[in-house]
Amino acid sequence: MKSPRNILFSVLLLMAIFSARASERSLSYAGVFRGLSDAETAALERGELLVRPLEASGKLSLVRDDNATREIVQRIRTIRPNYTAEFMAIIPVKDMAQADSMLRRIAAVLSDVEGYINIPYWSKQQKTTYALFDRMEVLDRKARQTDNGETIEVRQHMEPFDEFRARYDYSLDKETLRFSVVNLDSIVYSYQHFRAVTPGNMVWELYVFRHNDGLYVYGVGAVKAFDLFGLFRDRLEPSLMGRVEAFFTYITKKIAPAEEKK
């Protein structure tokens, strides 16, 4: 028969083992994402796109120690948004060749800005699917000199806002892809004729990078919007952030088509 001391030791040993395993699970994305719940971690492991609305824009989940992460965090903090949402996914890859193929595919999709019109957007308010944009005119397109990418200036329209100019930038480097969007004109809410977003205050960022045996996908949409002190928040937030969700959902699905997951 075990002595009380041996029993206590066995209990403490089991507790330490379970604690270590729990800690290992909670840190499974250490160095990349932070603050994920068990349910969110499980969703990523199932290959799902994780959507996280944020109340505090200064607490982004992306914590990878590199210049791209620091630039994204600083850019979001700078505009001090009142609407922010994150998007995360992890896509398994077999080798570097497959990762490179996926990154090149997504770069081609991002480059085709006219194709954004075909992205489906589900309006929670109207309970109807619309096109993400109903007009997209390319005003200027320039190859980037420092990396494999482009800077594209467009004039675009999305309901319920007036037309506005925006700039799209993407760059493709070894095992990484960066993409960003910023509005160059004010975004005017058509039905009330007021300026909802001033130039530079709608920012989308996408960062895709290889880590361990997967491609990690991180997107964030942030908007500093004037919603008449909350009076039009229930109209503006779904229209602005719903489109961000539609865009990142579409892009994530394009990274790994169903046939490659088999």
User: Are the C-beta atoms of 245 and 236 separated by less than 8 Å?
Assistant: no
pLDDT band at 238; cut points 50, 70, 90:
low
Token pair listed for 96 = 């570097």
Can you tell me the mean pLDDT for 66-84? 93
pLDDT higher than threshold 60 for residue 8: no
In this predicted structure, what is the pLDDT of residue 163? 96
Return all residues near 202 (Cβ < 8 A) that are at least 6 apart. Answer: 166, 181, 182, 183, 187, 222, 223, 224, 225, 240
pLDDT, tens digit (0-9, with 9 covering 90-100), for 91-128: 999 888 999 999 999 999 999 999 999 898 888 777 88
Can you tell me the mean pLDDT for 128-145? 91
User: For the domain with range 35-261, which CATH number is right: 1.20.1250.10, 3.40.50.800, 2.40.30.10, 3.30.530.20?
Assistant: 3.30.530.20
In this predicted structure, what is the pLDDT of residue 16? 41
In this predicted structure, what is the pLDDT of residue 236? 64
Amino acid at 206: L
Answer with the residue of higher pLDDT: 34 or 123: 34
In this predicted structure, what is the pLDDT of residue 6? 52
pLDDT higher than threshold 70 for residue 162: yes
pLDDT higher than threshold 70 for residue 224: yes
pLDDT band at 234; cut points 50, 70, 90:
low
- What's this model's pTM, rounded to 2 decimal places? 0.83
pLDDT, tens digit (0-9, with 9 covering 90-100), for 175-215: 899 999 999 999 998 876 778 899 999 999 999 999 888 89
